[in-house]
Amino acid sequence: MNRDNSLRKKGSFLISCLAILIVAGGLSGYWLNHQPRAARKPIEPTIPLVETIEPLVTDFHPRIQAFGTVMAAHSVSLNARVQGIVVSTSENYIEGGLVKQNEEIVRLDPTDYELALEQAQSELARAQFNLKLELGQQAVAKLEYEMLGQGLDQLGTELVQRKPHLEASKAALRSAQAAYQQAKLNLQRTHVIAPFDAAIIERNSEIGTKISTAASGDPLVKLVATESFWIDVSLPVEKLRWIDIPGFNGENASTVKIEFENGWKPNEYRIGRVKKLKVAVEPEGRMAKLIVEVDDPLSLKPGNRHKPALMLNTLVRVEITGKPLQRVVQLPETALHDGREIWLMNDSQTLDIAKVTPRWIGQGSFYLDAEQLPSNSRVVASNLPTPVPGMRIRKLGDISEPVMTSHADEAGDTYAD
């Protein structure tokens, strides 16, 4: 009997628990189905925020950058025209020394040539005397011919008048005069002089050195003119159309700025000008070759004393001022897309994509003819991930609507045509 009571109690407990679970489940379901819901708001479109540029019309001179090697505009190797021993040299007879035009650089022993000149002068005097003597005999012969010359043939007449003797005397005089001039010239050639203002780049003799003729041995001295140096510049052929080259595309010459980073101070430079275009390109790189001329390269003139001096065979940087571009606009190169497109913000604040043809690209900028842009254009300078014509954009500074900021990509300077 006790067992039956225990079973009845357990059954009542289970029924009570089951009832509680059913009621709790019903309440939970009712609460989940009838809880308050927040109203969904529509998603507002995100409008990119961009920077814009309102370009100004201006004139521009392109700058063509290249490298070149400094070389002598004029050089000469001086040799002795006569033999002899060096007896004196100029105080500037040293590599790097400067000499003036007609300045004596080396003197050879003149003794032998002075004696030869005296001998030639004596021979000349004797020839002059013989000619005068023959002229006197000519007068006597003329009288004899007038008295006895009738009936003589032509040869007899010339002999009676001593014409062969006169011609021989004149020939002897001419020979003596030539010998005298040669002796005088040889004496002058013992003085080796500078043909122009120059710097000495090589010397090959000292006092006491025996000098042979010019046909053998090294030259006495090598000189380069100091009036001007040339710079041999290599650059792409397509750049030539931007440069004023005398004798090639006109008479004007483009100005050239020369810098030597390894040898000069940061702000130092020299100014030259384009002189000539070489007739052949480089065999390997097919680069054009320009000659740039720099006056007073060693800064010897008073007005140039504060300027740096050029050195032969150095590699220098040149910047050539090109032909002017008129009525163009300058824009950062980051605003040029795919080489031929720019982005514009129109009056409706939507994006336009315009095709353009740059006149010049270089050093972080590009230039367009002003006529390629609409009036009052606003060029988008920022980068857009997915630009689509007609998409809404917002100028930086106007944030009256939700925006998405877009910044221009950073890019280093480039140089291209």
Mean of all residue pLDDT scores within the chain: 84
Q: Is the pLDDT of residue 5 over 60?
A: no
Q: Is the pLDDT of residue 8 over 70?
A: no
The pLDDT of residue 209: 87
Handedness of CA 224, 229, 233, 237 (dihedral sign): negative
Instruction: List residues bridging with 316 in a β-sheet.
Output: 68
Phi (first) and psi of residue 402, to 5 degrees: -55, 140
The pLDDT of residue 4: 55
What residue spans define the domains of the chain?
49-60+325-416, 78-108+191-224, 111-188, 227-321
Domain 49-60+325-416 has CATH 2.40.420: yes
The pLDDT of residue 407: 37
Q: Which two tokens stand for residue 48?
A: 């990119």
The pLDDT of residue 413: 36
Q: Are strands 98-99 and 191-193 parallel, antiparallel or unpaired?
A: unpaired
Taking a C-beta distance cutoff of 8 angstroms, is the pair 160, 152 a contact?
yes
User: In a 10 Å sphere around its CB, with 0-12 CB exposed, 13-18 middle and 19+ buried, how is residue 104 labelled?
Assistant: middle
Of 210, 189, 231, 179, nearest in space to 78 by CA? 189
Domain made up of 78-108+191-224: CATH architecture: Beta Barrel (2.40)
Taking a C-beta distance cutoff of 8 angstroms, is the pair 257, 318 a contact?
yes
The pLDDT of residue 6: 60
The one-letter amino acid code at 73 reads A
Q: How far, rounded to the nearest angstrom, does the alpha carbon of residue 375 sit from its chain's CA centroid? A: 39
Topology given in CATH for the domain delimited by 227-321 = Elongation Factor Tu (Ef-tu); domain 3 (2.40.30)
User: CA 153, 158, 164: angle at the middle one, nearest 5?
Assistant: 145
Q: Is the pLDDT of residue 33 over 50?
A: yes
Q: Which two tokens stand for residue 307?
A: 């300027």
For 357-401, the pLDDT digits (tens) are 999 888 889 999 999 998 888 999 999 888 999 999 988 764 443
Percent of the chain with pLDDT over 90: 59
Whose tokens are 């910047």? That residue is: 319
